[in-house]
């Protein structure tokens, strides 16, 4: 199978790989690069567990070909903590007990991060809208909504 | 959430240090940072991917299987059929002596449900495995299938599973598990009203966000390490040991970090065939269900039919209850004979009724085998019982909540399966519900207690 | 054509464990040289938080803070046998095994402390902070850190314990069905309020008020996680979920999350959770299994509320708009 070179930054560090043409970004990240924080819950674009941030936008890595990411800046949940300090969203998910099995959590955090990056003070409806592409089977969603609202509050307090 | 400490305060000491404290979960930091390792987060150099060729028919005889084209497909390392599986006919509850063995790891001569595994393909990549699977040629002779439980129980219905010989599980008590308490016919004869109603459910998927699967690594010392999301480590290990006729000491299972189970990961489905693949190729193997497989191939919660006949007095007492429950096991037993029996132990619900008759059947049909799910043997029964309670209350013109108080079980009451009630708390739950939902009931019900009468 | 409101109630109980198959679980507990404690199991954490709960149970029993306990589980090379995580048995069965193992370890720990302090072990107590004190004379004390060091390097004692919890199998009597299917029972009562659009058949669950009796909330935040998620699943079962929408017809089964329906974050009912605790006689610190039963009472409560709203009974799950509309049509025809 034809190999294609791709180069991008992942959580700020340069990556360069030869990958099989047609490889999804999800598989490239997990199998080639070793970042297993995006999860494969369906590989068909219906669960959101594989969500990552590409050039500031929320994307499903299972529906994104790795070769289309040449030159992109990619962020995953693994890259959120800085200097060992958790991102406010991660902190908020802990504080509101918003994870049970945790399999949906990295995708949820990605979706929430893009929301807060664009809309630092979202309404409850905006949070719901932002999470609506992500499936969680354990929590009933309410604790996740609360986590995002709490992180937003923490943000605005820091800014104030 | 609110804890109501005023109930049962006399039987509880609240003097503990760690119990009752909302300590943070030790696993959550891993979850929120993306560092928690699930089974599929492990990969090994040279790992092969396993894909199943599945039956397109609900019921068919297999005339022939031709894997030659698949074997030639680039990247394919090994193709497995029934003859490669040392002990191909198995049943998981054999570990607690609930037989007969009635299911094949890979179909042998026959398929009994659409989606049944027939051939396993092991290849260098997922894509190669998928493409090769499409090249396996299987010649089927389609047989009549039966999907409806009532049809299946009729004489002359197509036989779903020869290992049972009839389309129901044969208990030591006969065609169903039975509970007999009091004299149900006398109860009906003396009742002011009789109400017989029938309830039905459809199969339900557990839908964990992480699909069922495992990754197997041969250790080089004749042992195999299996990273799995099973809900039961030794249950899976011991069944694998039987199926592969391999001493359990050769098997090492690692799990316990699971992306949701809800009962869907108690079948022993992926591990034996993946370990067999690793053994025969000497290479690591991963076998992970696609979402489509999780939805339609993995066991769902069984569809159930529940028929309830009640005799009730105008003063609100239920004097007789007869329940006939049917659990649609699909083509194989898995945990269903247990679930149907668990239902027999659950009816007539949390109510004290002097005359009870229960029959629960485990029925075979040509559909995806069902198995355990959150509330196994009880959830659908509770739906039926509690809708029936609502209907009975309305039938006699009584408030549905008050009607439940009249019949609620209390400590010391004898249950239909002949265990005295202990630790009851139904009445208190209803009292609190009456308060929070602003659903008033008569003062005498608010003064009731689950403690034994006169205690 | 109108939006109609209704409410319904349901009350349930739920068994803990699977006595009809025999129900064993084992646990091992040992201390490290510096007085931390390892719990070794083969029980599986499905995401409900079993590891955390076992740590709290061990900590309570030994008398140390929870963060001094590490749980190593679900490795068949190290963990002793557990039947598995199902039938609401995890907390109850494994919890009892952990208590037994931790008690045995605690006894050795107190004996070593007694030798160090030159008192009787029966005169000692733990303060829950990592110290062992003489009852009535708390100034006379020793840290568990020092006790563990002494046990390991001076006194040659293994601070460890074994736990085994077995509910023997109950065989139902053939003719009468006499059996002991489980140990303790959890309880619940739910009141649901719905709106039904009698033009589209669509049901909106406005509120669910759930009262659960679960023996003992070992970790209230984690209990809340289970109960909130379970309540959501119950509503989901009532109104949406099936792999065979026209059962027993085998066609039309969903194969992904677009076709297999569940309520999303925008479809949540206002959910109230109230917990009562009547400790069970045989549960670890009185706990019962809350994990399964919490998803059951919403289903009939919603079904009864739908009837209350529009006067038709849907006795087939799930209660879809199609079923409601067909029933309304049939009702109008009569
Ligand atoms: S794995 Fe990408 S959406 Fe499910
Ligand atoms: S926490 Fe399990 S799927 Fe969301």
For the residues A145-154, what does the mean pLDDT come to?
96
Compare CB distances from C84 to B5, B235, B296 and report the shortest one's residue. Answer: B235
Residues of A with CB below 8 A from B43's CB? 30-31
Q: Is A29 in the pocket of ligand 1 (CB under 6 A)?
A: no
Residue A100 and residue A72 in one domain: no
In-domain check, residue C275 = yes
Radius of gyration of chain A (CA): 16
In the stretch 212-271 of chain C, residues with CB closer than 8 A to chain B read: 212-213, 215-224, 227-228, 230, 233, 237, 241-245, 247-250, 253-257, 260, 262
Report which of residues C87 and B296 the model is more confident about.
B296
Catalytic residue among C111, C195, C292, C322: C292
Residue C238 and residue C271 in one domain: yes
Comparing CA positions, the residue from C20, C115, C102, C14 lying closest to residue C61 is C102
Q: Which helix (H) or strand (E) holds B151?
A: helix B149-153
> Measured in whole angstroms, how far is the alpha carbon of residue B395 from the centre of its chain?
34
- Which tokens is B442 given? 């008569």
- Predicted pLDDT of residue C108: 98
What tens digit of pLDDT does each residue of C126-135 get?
999 999 999 9
Cβ neighbour number for residue C334 with a 10 Å cutoff? 4
Single residue among C101, C134, C165 that ends a domain in this structure? C165
pLDDT band at C88 (very low <50, low <70, confident <90, very high): confident
Residue C100 and residue C148 in one domain: yes
Closest ligand 1 atom to residue A61 Cα is 2
Per-domain residue ranges for chain B?
48-142+212-288, 177-200+299-446
Residues of A with CB below 8 A from B259's CB? 39, 41, 101-103
Compare CB distances from A31 to B29, B35, B43 and report the shortest one's residue. Answer: B43
Residue A155 and residue A95 in one domain: yes
Q: Which residue of C has its CA nearest to B19?
A: C218
- What CATH number does the domain containing A143 carry? 1.10.150.120
Residue A115 and residue A152 in one domain: yes
**B309 pLDDT exceeds 70?**
yes
Number of folded domains that form chain C = 2
Ligand approaching nearest to the C-alpha of A30: 1
In-domain check, residue C178 = no
Residues 6+ apart with CB under 8 A from C209: B433, B436, B437, C190, C191, C192, C272, C274
In-domain check, residue C174 = no
Cα B226 to Cα B252: distance, rounded to the nearest angstrom? 6
Single residue among C136, C165, C194 that ends a domain in this structure? C165
- Length of chain C counted residue by residue: 334
Q: Which helix (H) or strand (E) holds B28?
A: helix B28-33
Residue A34 and residue A102 in one domain: no
**A159 pLDDT exceeds 70?**
no
What tens digit of pLDDT does each residue of B244-273 get?
999 999 999 999 999 999 999 999 999 999
In the stretch 90-109 of chain A, residues with CB closer than 8 A to chain C read: 97, 100-103
- Predicted pLDDT of residue B323: 98
The answer to whether C181 and B340 are in contact (CB under 8 A) is no
Comparing CA positions, the residue from C281, C121, C269, C249 lying closest to residue C205 is C269
Q: Is the Cβ pair C264, A143 closer than 8 Å?
A: no
Single residue among C107, C134, C165 that ends a domain in this structure? C165
- What Cα–Cα distance (Å) separates residue B122 from each residue in B73, B81, C10, C115? 11, 12, 50, 62
The rounded Å distance from CA B118 to ligand 1 centre is: 28
Does the active-site annotation cover C292? yes
What tens digit of pLDDT does each residue of B349-393 get?
999 999 999 999 999 999 999 999 999 999 999 999 999 999 999
Q: First-to-last CA distance in chain C? A: 18
What tens digit of pLDDT does each residue of B329-340 get?
999 999 999 999
In-domain check, residue C281 = yes
- Predicted pLDDT of residue A158: 67
Q: Give the range of the structural domain holding residue C262, as residue numbers without chain letter.
A: 3-16+184-333
Cα C139 to Cα A107: distance, rounded to the nearest angstrom? 53
Q: Which residue of A has its CA nearest to C47?
A: A101
Yes or no: is domain B177-200+299-446 CATH 3.30.365.10?
yes
Residue A60 and residue A104 in one domain: no
What are the helix (H) ranges across chain A?
Answer: 25-27, 88-95, 105-118, 124-131, 142-159
Closest ligand 1 atom to residue A42 Cα is 4
Residue A9 and residue A70 in one domain: yes
- Predicted pLDDT of residue B319: 98
Residue A7 and residue A75 in one domain: yes
Q: Give the range of the structural domain holding residue A95, as residue numbers without chain letter.
A: 88-159
Radius of gyration of chain C (CA): 25
- Which tokens is B343 given? 């239902």
Cβ neighbour number for residue B175 with a 10 Å cutoff? 15
Least confident of A111-115, B43-47, C89-93: C89-93
Query: Strand pairing of B2-3 and C270-276?
Result: parallel
For the residues B59-86, what does the mean pLDDT come to?
98
In-domain check, residue C292 = yes
Q: Is A62 in the pocket of ligand 1 (CB under 6 A)?
A: yes
Residue B313 is classified by DSSP as: -
The answer to whether C72 and C38 are in contact (CB under 8 A) is yes
**A160 pLDDT exceeds 70?**
no
Cβ neighbour number for residue C4 with a 10 Å cutoff? 15
Cβ neighbour number for residue B193 with a 10 Å cutoff? 12
Q: Which helix (H) or strand (E) holds C230?
A: helix C220-239
Report chain A's mean pLDDT, rounded to a whole number.
Answer: 96
Residue C159 and residue C188 in one domain: no
What tens digit of pLDDT does each residue of A12-28 get?
999 999 999 999 999 99
What tens digit of pLDDT does each residue of A107-125 get?
999 999 999 999 999 999 9
- Predicted pLDDT of residue B393: 98
Share of chain C above pLDDT 90, in %: 90
A3 touching chain B per CB within 8 A: no
Residues 6+ apart with CB under 8 A from C122: none
- Predicted pLDDT of residue A1: 64
**A50 pLDDT exceeds 80?**
yes
Cα A151 to Cα A146: distance, rounded to the nearest angstrom? 9
Compare CB distances from B173 to C85, C174, C318 and report the shortest one's residue. Answer: C174
What tens digit of pLDDT does each residue of C156-173 get?
999 999 999 998 899 999
Residue A56 and residue A15 in one domain: yes
For the residues B301-306, what does the mean pLDDT come to?
98
Single residue among A20, A52, A79 that ends a domain in this structure? A79
- What CATH number does the domain containing C8 carry? 3.30.365.10
- What CATH number does the domain containing A43 carry? 3.10.20.30
Closest ligand 2 atom to residue A100 Cα is 1
Residue A15 and residue A47 in one domain: yes
What is the phi-psi region of residue A116: left when phi exceeds 0, alpha when psi lies from -120 to 50, beta otherwise? Answer: alpha
Tell me if B48-142+212-288 shares its fold with B177-200+299-446.
no
Q: Is A138 in the pocket of ligand 1 (CB under 6 A)?
A: no
**C18 pLDDT exceeds 80?**
no
- Predicted pLDDT of residue B454: 58
Residue C211 and residue C258 in one domain: yes
Report chain B's mean pLDDT, rounded to a whole number.
Answer: 97
Residue A94 and residue A53 in one domain: no
**How far is B187 from chain C, CA to nearest CA, in Å?**
17
Residue C155 and residue C196 in one domain: no
Please say whether the dihedral angle defined by the alpha carbons of residues B326, B327, B333 and B338, taken in this order, is positive or negative.
negative
Residue A33 and residue A51 in one domain: yes
In-domain check, residue C309 = yes
Q: What does CATH list as the number for B48-142+212-288?
A: 3.90.1170.50
Share of chain A above pLDDT 70, in %: 98
What tens digit of pLDDT does each residue of C171-211 get?
999 999 999 988 899 999 999 999 999 999 999 999 999 99
**B405 pLDDT exceeds 80?**
yes
Query: Strand pairing of B304-312 and B285-288?
Result: unpaired
Residue C102 and residue C34 in one domain: yes
């Amino acid at each position: 199978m034809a190999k294609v070179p791709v180069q991008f930054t992942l959580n700020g560090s340069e990556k360069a790989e030869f990958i099989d043409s047609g490889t999804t970004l999800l598989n490239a990240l997990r199998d080639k690069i070793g970042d297993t924080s995006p999860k494969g819950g369906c590989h068909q674009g219906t669960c959101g567990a594989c969500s990552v941030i590409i050039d500031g936008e929320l994307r499903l890595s299972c529906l994104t070909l790795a070769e289309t990411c040449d030159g992109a800046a990619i962020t995953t949940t693994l890259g959120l903590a800085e200097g060992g300090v958790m991102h406010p969203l991660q902190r908020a998910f802990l504080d509101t007990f918003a994870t049970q099995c945790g399999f949906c959590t990295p995708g949820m955090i990605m979706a929430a991060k893009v929301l807060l990056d664009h809309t630092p003070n979202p309404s409850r409806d905006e949070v719901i809208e932002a999470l609506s592409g992500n499936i969680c089977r354990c929590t009933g969603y309410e604790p996740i909504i609360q986590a995002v609202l709490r992180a937003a509050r923490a943000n605005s307090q820091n800014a104030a | 959430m609110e804890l109501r400490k005023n109930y049962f305060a006399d039987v509880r000491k609240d003097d503990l240090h760690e119990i009752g404290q909302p300590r943070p979960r030790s696993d959550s930091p891993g979850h929120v940072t993306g560092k928690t390792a699930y089974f599929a987060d492990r990969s090994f150099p040279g790992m092969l991917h396993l894909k199943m060729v599945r039956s397109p028919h609900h019921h068919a005889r297999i005339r022939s299987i031709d894997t030659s084209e698949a074997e030639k497909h680039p990247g394919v390392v090994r193709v497995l059929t029934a003859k490669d599986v040392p002990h191909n006919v198995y049943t998981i509850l054999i570990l607690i002596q609930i037989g007969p063995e009635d299911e094949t790891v890979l179909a042998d001569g026959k398929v009994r449900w659409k989606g049944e595994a027939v051939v396993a393909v092991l290849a260098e990549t997922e894509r190669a495995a998928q493409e090769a699977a499409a090249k396996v040629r299987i010649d089927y002779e389609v047989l009549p299938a039966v999907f409806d439980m009532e049809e299946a129980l009729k004489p002359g219905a197509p036989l779903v599973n020869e290992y049972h010989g009839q389309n129901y599980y044969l208990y030591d008590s006969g065609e169903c598990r039975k509970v007999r308490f009091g004299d149900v016919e006398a109860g009906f004869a003396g009742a002011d009203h009789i109400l017989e109603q029938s309830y039905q459910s459809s199969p339900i998927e557990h839908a964990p966000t992480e699909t069922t699967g495992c990754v197997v690594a041969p250790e080089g010392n004749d042992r195999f390490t299996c990273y799995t999301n099973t809900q039961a480590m030794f249950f899976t290990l011991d069944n694998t040991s039987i199926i592969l006729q391999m001493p359990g000491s050769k098997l090492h299972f690692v799990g316990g970090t699971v992306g949701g189970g809800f009962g869907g990961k108690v079948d022993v489905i992926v591990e034996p065939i993946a370990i067999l693949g690793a053994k025969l190729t000497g290479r690591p193997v991963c076998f992970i269900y696609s979402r489509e497989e999780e939805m339609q191939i993995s066991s769902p919660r069984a569809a159930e039919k529940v028929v309830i006949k009640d005799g009730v007095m105008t003063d609100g007492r239920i004097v007789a209850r007869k329940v006939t429950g049917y659990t649609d096991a699909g083509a194989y037993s898995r945990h269903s004979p247990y679930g149907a029996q668990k239902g027999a132990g659950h009816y007539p619900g949390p109510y004290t009724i002097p005359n009870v008759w229960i029959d629960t059947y485990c029925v075979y049909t040509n559909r995806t085998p069902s198995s355990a799910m959150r509330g196994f043997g009880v959830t659908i029964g509770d739906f039926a019982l509690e809708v029936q309670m609502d209907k009975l209350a309305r039938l006699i013109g009584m408030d549905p909540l008050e009607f439940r108080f009249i019949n609620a079980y209390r400590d010391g009451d004898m249950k239909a399966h002949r265990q005295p009630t202990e630790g009851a708390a139904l009445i208190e739950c209803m009292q609190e519900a009456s308060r929070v939902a602003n659903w008033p009931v008569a003062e005498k019900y608010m003064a009731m207690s689950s403690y034994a009468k006169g205690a | 054509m109108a939006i109609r409101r209704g409410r319904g109630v349901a009350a349930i109980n739920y068994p803990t464990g699977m006595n009809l198959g025999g129900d064993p679980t084992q646990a091992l507990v040992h201390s490290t040289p510096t007085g931390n404690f390892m719990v070794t199991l083969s029980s599986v954490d499905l995401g409900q938080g079993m590891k955390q709960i076992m740590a709290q149970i061990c900590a309570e029993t030994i008398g140390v803070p929870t963060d001094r306990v590490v749980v190593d589980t679900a490795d068949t090379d190290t963990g002793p046998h557990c039947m598995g995580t199902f039938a609401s048995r995890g907390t109850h069965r494994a919890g009892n095994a952990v208590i037994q193992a931790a008690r045995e370890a605690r006894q050795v720990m107190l004996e070593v402390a007694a030798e160090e302090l030159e008192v009787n072990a029966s005169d000692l107590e733990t303060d829950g902070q990592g110290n062992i004190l003489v009852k009535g004379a708390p100034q006379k004390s020793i840290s568990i850190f020092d006790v563990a060091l002494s046990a390991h390097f001076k006194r040659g004692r293994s601070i460890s314990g074994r736990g085994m919890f077995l509910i023997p199998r109950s065989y139902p009597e053939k003719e009468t069905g006499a059996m002991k299917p489980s140990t303790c029972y959890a309880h619940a009562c739910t009141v649901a309020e719905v709106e039904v659009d009698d033009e589209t058949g669509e049901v909106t669950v406005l509120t669910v008020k759930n009262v659960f009796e679960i023996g003992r909330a070992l970790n209230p935040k984690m209990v809340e996680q289970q109960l909130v998620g379970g309540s959501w699943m119950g509503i989901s079962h009532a109104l949406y979920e099936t792999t065979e929408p026209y059962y027993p017809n085998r066609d039309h089964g969903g194969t992904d999350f677009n076709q297999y329906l569940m309520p999303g974050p925008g479809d949540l009912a206002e959910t109230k959770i109230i917990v009562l605790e009547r400790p069970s006689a045989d549960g670890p610190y009185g706990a019962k299994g809350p994990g399964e039963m919490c998803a059951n009472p919403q289903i009939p409560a919603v079904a009864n509320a739908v009837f209350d709203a529009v006067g038709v009974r849907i006795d087939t799950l799930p209660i879809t708009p199609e079923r409601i509309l067909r029933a309304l049509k049939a009702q109008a025809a009569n």
